[in-house]
Structure 1
Amino acid sequence: MENYYLVIVVLMLLLAIFDLIVGVSNDAVNFLTSAVGSKAASFKRIIIVASCGIFLGAISSGGMMEIAKKGIFNPSLFSFQNIIFIYVVVMVSDIFLLDLFNSLKLPTSTTISIVFELLGASLATSFLIVYDQGLPVNEWLEFINTKKAGEMIVAIFVSVLVAFSVGWLVQYILRLAVTFEYKKHMRIGGSIFGGLSVFIVINFIVNVAFKHSPLKNSEILVFLSSNTLGLFLITFTLAFLFFFLKSKKEGFDTFQVITMLGTFALAMAFASNDLVNFIGVPLAGLEAFVIWKDTGVSASAYKMEVFNDATQQLPFVIVLLVAAGIIMSLVLWTSKKAKNVIQTTVNLSRQADGVERFNGNIASRGAIKFVTAITKVITSLVPEAIKIAIERRYKREQRINVGAKELPPAFDLVRASVNLIVAAWLITLGTSLKLPLSTTYVSFMVVMGTSLADRAWNQDSAVYRVSGVFTVILGWFITALTALGISALLAVIVYYYEFVGVVIITILSAFGIFMVNRLTNNEVEAEIAIQLPTNWYVMSQKELGQALEEQLKDLSNYVFDFEQKLTNAIIKYDHKTIKELDDVVSKHNEQNLYYQAALIRQLRNVEVKDLEAGKILLTFYVEENEILRELSEAIKLAKQHVLNMHTPLDDLQIGTFHEYISLFEVFNNEIQPSNGNTLSVLQQQNKAIDAYVEKGINLQLQGLSEQKYTYKNSRLFLGSIIRHLHVSEYIIGLYTLIFPQEGGE
């Protein structure tokens, strides 16, 4: 029997590796968003700094298993068998849940996840113990540490409200002090903020990053933590002088240094404190096994009172911590899901307008209306002179690099440094007050608060950004409820089926992860920029036409391929192909909207005399979007027809569709570099398509008069052939746009 439990312990240690992978993918957003969003350095350098922080935090961690050993349940009332089964349920549940949220590109709290999984599994197990032993129902809750769960729920509200408010206030004050042209005010204002930031970071490392470290009782750390005022005076003075003197040097940016320093500190604290969320449970399971195996008592009879002793009992834990640090560092370099989760937060906090990831909803619109009404009342009480002064401080003169291949930073280094420093300060404060604040909640809500203070949420984006924030916050609550429910259900399976149950839940989790990854897209969404020569905005019409010619040909080829595949899918009732076409069109449409957004940002910064090239480009992308809209409508019709198994097309209708494919193939082949008569050839071919449409309409009308066709059949057929004509006309319009000389202009 001992070997069975050893297998479970080994399984948990293996699961811990996967938990580290999915956990770091989720929590990387806490310490990477600010540096990545502000482009404080290259992505490689940012990862190097964060990796150093993670590795040092991991090896300095210790005493981390208290939450797993006695933080949620009373170990003296559970047997070794009960606890080892609870732990394996928690690990299996945690990997599935975190992978699910990562795949959905939503940040969630690993602390909430692990706490509610422990709570759900222990609640279910203790209830079954009470039921089987015939104990009074009121003894059930004696098995559980209800206070801890209550603290975690309260911490959600505390973290959300406090972090958002403090982030907004600090950013608002600092922005008024240094403005968006912060380099002009960096010597004094930047040096003061730099001095405060260095103190906060050092104090953060001493009191938070080393909170669970074996070194926490060393003389130097005890001295520093007990002499906060002296630490402040020394670090602030030295840091202020350093930044003040270095600010004279050309190219030196105080806020860049603060951002990288804050990234290191938060990464270190994450590894030091949140490591329990990933390997605390399997290490506690390993310790339980080591203690039990030499007792000679059966697994179901041996009570785990020893877990009430907080003394660490694994002498080789440092080896496991080093291994964990290495794994977490490697995940930062390789995880696509980590980059996707980071992009979600960066997108919600970016300064520029453009395509929004989230749609508006009733809640976000209601919140914006309420806040707008309150704001109007408050601003009406502010003297006009003060409002003018504030607007002057918020004035932005920055002009983006028109034609650049990369998009500008989502926000500047001032906001990035505030994101990190305020988060570090709040986490330090929460630790000193013994409040169970979540690093995820604090980090995310500070970023949202600073975004609001910087007016990144304007009238065109506020509803969508708030909707995104509500979605993320709702995800946190769903995490808690889902973790509670799934772990409780799996605990019931394992309680009754024991080792067979462990196999069952492991297979279920693996299948769930497989399906989640199959149904979601984990490719990193690359930044989309206009792929044109740097000086597109000063090109002549002819030069720009030559640059767009290849894009037009690619678009026409894509339409031809689409029409072939969609026609065959409709004829064969091929659901899979229609789904694939839908995904590709959606991706093309999203890319087109990003092109338009990027172009509009650049058009706001070009000279009036250079707007003609922009007009051609923008018209091209708008017309391209109309073509994609036609294809999207075609997919909707096809999907409705095929999925609902409506009346199939008859041979005459199928033959008509094939005729169009042949006509469009000739049309597509004629799109080539302008030779003086290409446009006339295209127009002639379009007349043939027009005749095809007329023929198709007559065919359908005749069939209707003979009662051969139904409404839904007609809707698909007529909608398709009319769309065929629209698409060819749009393509001719694009050709005329980029080669106007053929149109006689």
Structure 2
Amino acid sequence: MDTFFLVLLVFLAILAAVDLFVGVSNDAVNFLNSAVGSRIAPFKVVLGVAAVGVLLGATFSGGMMEIARSGVFHPSMFSFSDVIAIYFAVMVTDVLLLNVFNKMGLPTSTTVSIVFELLGAAAGVAINRLIQNGESALGFGAYINDSKALGMISAILVSVVVAFLAGVIVQWITRVIFTFRYDRLFKKLGGIYGGFSLAMIFYFLVMKGAKGASFMTPDVLAFLDAYGTELVLGIFVVCSILLQLGMMFFKTNVFRIIILAGTFALAFAFAGNDLVNFVGVPIAALDSAHIFEAAGAGASASTFTMAGLEQAIPAPTALLLLSGVIMVITLFTSKSARHVIETSVNLSSSAAGEKEQFGATLPGRIVVKGAMKFGAFLTSVLPKPFLKFLASRFEPKPVEKGEDVLPFDYIRASLNLIVSAILIASATSLKLPLSTTYVTFMVAMGSSFADRAWDRETAVYRVSGVITVISGWFVTAFSAFVAAAIAATLVLKGGEVVSVLLMVIAIAVIVKTNFWPNKVEEAEKERIRLTDRDGIRTMLDHEIPRHFDNASELYGAMVYGFLNDDERTLRRVVNRASECLDELTEKRSLYYQMAKHPTDRADSDAKYFYYRSFTGMREIARTLVRTSTLTRDHVANRHRVFTGELAEYLKRLSVEVDAARRDVATFCKVGGDLTPLHTRMKNLSELVDQSQEAVLSDVNRFGLSLRGSELYLVLVQFVRELINRYEIVVTLQWHLNQVCRKEKLDVLNEAHSAAVPENSGRPVFPGTRKGAVTGSAMMADTPVRLSAPFVNKETKL
């Protein structure tokens, strides 16, 4: 075999290992979210159970490897060099495409990507061969395995709908039976519920999924076919009895067994179905190399057809196990995986005010509005006793004082796991790839919908999320197909030079994305995790000047863009202002996560300061969006811009706002006295007064239209609001400094008291002598939740 082909095989193996690491880091949330969110067991126990499921599931994925070999194209129509070009183009495209999608924040799926990349690369090579051989375009169908390809594509799309409906139906029936106050009834039926769950897990994972296992012998498969029903019934009866006895005599938590078993099942199903996305193509390339080598030295890579790939080739168990080991190591070592899990669990809560995973869309609003009208119609026609009965079954359990509210209860957590695992395992048994991300997401959406977690505060976001997932399917599919077709064409036309160039690009993207962390982003994440007073203070010391800088910079760009009649600059200002608003809204919502963790009074005050500060900064960003939008529209409509004295006032305001940046940054950096900043803001406020009076004292003086006058006053008023808001923010930060200072003095005095006996003439630290103003007294004399005396009293947060 040519050395270059060996290099390509090694490169594909490296990409497979990296794909496994990155894929598990991002997809671990799919099978760990429910167990972690319900806090049914320690995190290490959950990881251990999932690791066993991943390792065993990897060995059951052998049958899925057929997808990469012959599930999309007819290998007999392609030569060895063609097939290697297809597989190489697929892996390079996969790395580049997924990184682009992740960077843009677009929903994607490794399953959808790999299927359409295979289809696109095969189509690209086929079209090139047809052109090269002078054949008709009608011959294209002979290259593509359209029946299997359409079956897989349909299965991926239909699975989204099926998963949602399955989640709705199963959760609704279960909730009607057990309600949210399931403790009493569960004591009687918990054993049956657990036995049924375990029996279903065994049936779908082993009975259905065993056919594709790389180590299954014909005798074992025959035994399972002959006695499958008896085995499932036996597991149901035995498990039901044992679990019920355990609940009665040993107070066994059946939910812990069910949820951990469901975690195992979903991890098992994930590895069995998704492993082909990561290693299927490299293993298929290795099989191709073995077939080509077996043909002997006389075979030509450009003419030897790969009909051998259509035969049933068992996947190497050793390679599958090695892939499973890499996935397990990733679970235990990947910080990214833990962060994704943590974020997903935080976003699973339906508490008001927290950030939803998807934003609102017009189709989402239309669907919710229609659903509300349909619901009102059903309410009017259904018997009231029946509606009352249903309402009683779905009445939420009241939260006890001090109780930690979970994102979902044990019933929903167990069903999310089991239903998702059953759907994925069923597809694996049929050798149909599914997007585990889409399936688990849609099951969770369906179960939350059935649980009436979609209230008027969240419904539009959840529906928009469902629509986004489905639309993301099409975007991913189209992008993967086109990109892979182009990559395959480049490889065919450019040969070794282009292949090496693509390898270098792919390696650079991998290193940059996964092994070269952004220090600023990492530092930001670390600050966000700190919820004590010192951590909040450090974070605000960084965020306040940064966002004031953003606001002043954008105001300056807006003023000069307006005065220069530059619509393009104003469009950029609007976009950047919107980004700042989104960022501040997201960071402000972190308060609701902080507030869930009980702390002492000083930490609670610090969290309150955090909330007030980000509220003020967010309102400035919101005003900036409105102001910049008005300014952009004014210029876009070709209205007159300001000149002369009015233009000079705006320029001077912009310069003075920019100068205030240094005072804000200095205070946040060193603390201390607010007087210099207060003086700066007072002078700026007087300049705002002069700028307003110039127009208001004599409207006709400048010959302005009503529209022009309003815009000028809006531009000036923004500066006043900027002053008022940030004076409140920095005053809050001053109070927070006093809180932290007082705590440090208390700690120092306590340590000194322990070291020096009482009445020994020991010194007392400054600010703590009798009669002196301590941090505590300062906080008592200066109420924490009041703004500074010099702040405009009309400005409210």
TM-based fold match above 0.5: yes
Deviation at 1:344, TM superposition (A): 7.6
Superposed, 1:191-202 pairs within 5 Å as 191-202=191-202
Aligned-pair distance for 1:206? 1.0
Normalising to structure 2: TM-score of the pair? Answer: 0.75
Supply the distance in 1 between the matched residues of 2:13 and 2:490 (Cα, whole angstroms): 21
Q: Deviations over 1:343-367 (max 9, x none)?
A: 7865775443333232222211111
Give the 3 Å change call, closer, same or farther, for CA 436–15 of structure 1 in structure 2.
Answer: closer
Q: Does the aligned pair in 1 maintain the 2:365–2:460 contact within 8 Å?
A: yes
Task: Check 1:196–1:614 CA distance in 2 against 1; reply closer, same or farther (3 A cut).
Answer: same
Aligned to 1:185, what secondary structure does the other structure show? helix
Amino acid at match of 2:54: I
Q: Please tell me whether the aligned partners of residues 270 and 424 of structure 2 are also in contact (alpha carbons under 8 angstroms).
A: no
Aligned with residue 495 of structure 2, among 492, 495, 498: 498
Residue-by-residue CA offset, 1:266-286 (whole Å, 9 max, x unaligned): 212222332222112111212
1:723 aligns with 2:725: no
- Give, in whole Å, the separation in 2 of the partners of 1:322 and 1:298: 33
CA distance in 2, matches of 1:551, 1:65: 49
Distance 1:201 1:306, change over 3 A: same
Map 1:279-428; keep pairs closer than 5 Å: 279-293=279-293, 294-312=296-314, 317-335=316-334, 338=337, 350-355=349-354, 356-399=356-399, 408-428=405-425
Deviates more, 1:111-120 or 1:367-376: 367-376
Give the counterpart letter for 1:298 in structure 2.
S
- Name which of 688, 694, 717 aligns with 1:693: 688
User: Any conservation in 2 of the 1:30–1:439 contact (CA below 8 Å)?
Assistant: yes
Shift of 1:485: 0.9
* 1:26-425 equivalences in 2 (<5 Å): 26-103=26-103, 108-217=108-217, 219-220=219-220, 222-248=222-248, 252-293=252-293, 294-312=296-314, 317-335=316-334, 338=337, 350-355=349-354, 356-399=356-399, 408-425=405-422
Indicate whether 1:630 and 2:620 are aligned: yes
Q: How much has 1:342 moved relative to structure 2?
A: 5.3
Measured in 1, the distance between the counterparts of 2:288 and 2:531 equals 59
Cα contact 1:667–1:685 (8 A) shared by 2? no
* SS state at 2:441 partner: helix
Distance 1:300 1:566 in 2: 59
1:168 touches 1:449 (CA, 8 Å); kept in 2?
yes
Query: C-alpha distance in 2, partners of 1:732/1:528?
Result: 19
Task: Tell me the secondary structure at the aligned position of residue 329 of structure 2.
Answer: helix
Q: Does the aligned pair in 2 maintain the 1:94–1:114 contact within 8 Å?
A: yes
Q: CA deviation at 1:650?
A: 9.2
Q: Could you tell me the percent identity over the aligned residues?
A: 35
Is contact 2:627–2:715 with CA below 8 Å preserved after alignment?
Answer: no
Partner in structure 2 of residue 738 of structure 1: 784
Query: 1:536 is matched with which residue?
Result: none
Contact 1:207 1:428 in 2 (8 A): no
- Using the TM superposition, name which of 435-444 and 518-527 deviates more: 518-527
3-state secondary structure, aligned to 1:457: coil
**Residue 463 in 1 paired to residue 509 in 2?**
no
Do 1:256 and 1:417's aligned partners in 2 also have CA atoms closer than 8 Å? no
**Secondary structure class of the residue paired with 2:58:** helix
Change over 3 Å in CA distance of 1:304–1:459 after alignment to 2: same
Q: Report the CA distance shift for 1:740/1:19 in structure 2 as closer, same or farther (over 3 A).
A: closer
Letter in 2 for 1:211: K
Taking only aligned residues, the RMSD between alpha carbons, in angstroms, comes to: 5.0
CA shift digits 1:616-647 (9 cap, x unpaired): 987984675134321454588789999x9x99
After superposition, what is the alpha-carbon deviation per residue over 1:104-123, rounded to whole angstroms, capped at 9, x for unaligned?
Answer: 55654333222211111111
Change (3 A) 1:308 1:569: same
When residues 7 and 636 of structure 1 are mapped into structure 2, their CA distance, relative to the original with a 3 A threshold, is farther
Whether contact under 8 Å (2:27, 2:437) holds in the other structure is yes
SS in 2 for 1:357: coil
Shift of 1:69: 1.6
Matches of 1:591 and 1:245, distance apart in 2: 49
Corresponding residue SS for 2:180:
coil
Q: Is the CA contact 1:200–1:424 (under 8 Å) kept in the aligned structure 2?
A: no
Give the secondary structure class of the aligned counterpart of 1:65: helix
Report the TM-score, using the length of structure 1 for normalisation: 0.80
Distance 1:619 1:652, change over 3 A: closer
Q: Distance between the aligned counterparts of 2:397 and 2:528, measured in 1?
A: 24
Q: Which residue of 2 aligns with 1:592?
A: 588
> 1:250/1:178 Cα in 2 relative to 1: closer, same or farther (>3 Å)?
farther
Looking at structure 1, the residues matched to 368 and 178 of structure 2 have their Cα atoms a distance apart, in angstroms, of 28
Residue 450 (1) aligns with residue 447 (2):
yes
Could you tell me which residue of structure 2 aligns to residue 540 of structure 1? none
Tell me the distance in 2 between the aligned counterparts of 1:699 and 1:68: 74
Change in CA separation of 1:558 and 1:6 when aligned onto 2, cut-off 3 Å: closer
Q: Find the aligned partners of 1:311 and 1:669 in 2 and give their Cα distance.
A: 69
Q: Distance in 1 between matches of 2:421 and 2:195?
A: 15
Q: 1:257 to 1:108 in 2, by over 3 A?
A: farther
Letter of the aligned partner of 1:387 in structure 2? L
Q: Which residue of 1 aligns with 2:474?
A: 477
Distance 1:493 1:559, change over 3 A: closer
Q: Match for residue 17 of structure 2?
A: 17
**Separation in 2, partners of 1:182, 1:475:** 38
Q: Distance in 2 between matches of 1:460 and 1:487?
A: 41
Give the deviation of 1:92 after TM superposition.
0.8
Contact in 2 for aligned 1:168/1:453 (Cα 8 Å) = yes
For 1:636 and 1:558, the matched residues in 2 are separated by 21
Q: How far off is 1:411 after superposition?
A: 1.0
Please say which of residues 160-169 and 723-732 is displaced more in the overlay.
Answer: 723-732
CA distance in 2, matches of 1:527, 1:685: 30
Residue 172 of structure 1: CA displacement? 0.9
Q: Given the superposition, is the C-alpha separation of residues 400 and 340 from structure 1 closer, same or farther in structure 2, using an over 3 Å criterion?
A: farther
Q: Quote the offset at 1:455 in angstroms.
A: 1.0
Partner of 2:769: none
- The structure-2 alpha-carbon separation of the partners of 1:146 and 1:654, relative to structure 1 and needing over 3 Å to count, comes to same
Q: Return closer, same or farther for 1:552/1:60 CA change in 2, 3 Å cut-off.
A: closer
Aligned to 1:460, the other structure's residue is in SS state coil
Paired with 1:433 and 1:392, the residues of 2 have a C-alpha distance of 41
Q: Distance in 1 between matches of 2:378 and 2:616?
A: 44
Equivalent position of 1:538 in the other structure? none
| 1:591 Cα deviation after fit | 2.0
- Letter of the 2:117 counterpart: E
Amino acid in the other structure paired with 1:481: F
Q: 2:663·2:677 contact (CA, 8 Å) conserved in 1?
A: no
Return the letter of the residue paired with 1:626. Answer: G
In 1: Cα distance, 2:527 partner to 2:228 partner: 44
Q: Deviations over 1:653-705 (max 9, x none)?
A: 77666656777877999999xx9xx9999988865553243245568999x97
Deviation for aligned residue 1:471: 0.9
Mean CA deviation greater in 337-346 or 622-631: 337-346
CA pair 362-655 structure 1, distance change in 2 beyond 3 A: closer
- C-alpha distance in structure 2 between counterparts of 1:568 and 1:362, whole Å: 34
SS of 2:62's partner is coil
Structure 1 unmatched ranges of 5 or more: 534-545, 604-612
Give deviations 1:506-532, integer Å, cap 9, x for gaps: 345456668988999986979979947
SS in 1 for 2:212: coil
Hey, what's the Cα distance between the residues in 2 that align with 1:157 and 1:134?
Answer: 36
Report the more deviating stretch, 691-700 or 470-479.
691-700
In the other structure, the counterpart of 1:608 is none
CA shift digits 1:525-572 (9 cap, x unpaired): 799799479xxxxxxxxxxxx999999988866676667877898999
3-state SS of paired residue (1:399): coil
- Cα distance, 1:466 vs structure 2: 0.8
Summarize the Cα distance change of 1:158–1:565 in structure 2 as closer, same or farther, 3 Å threshold: closer
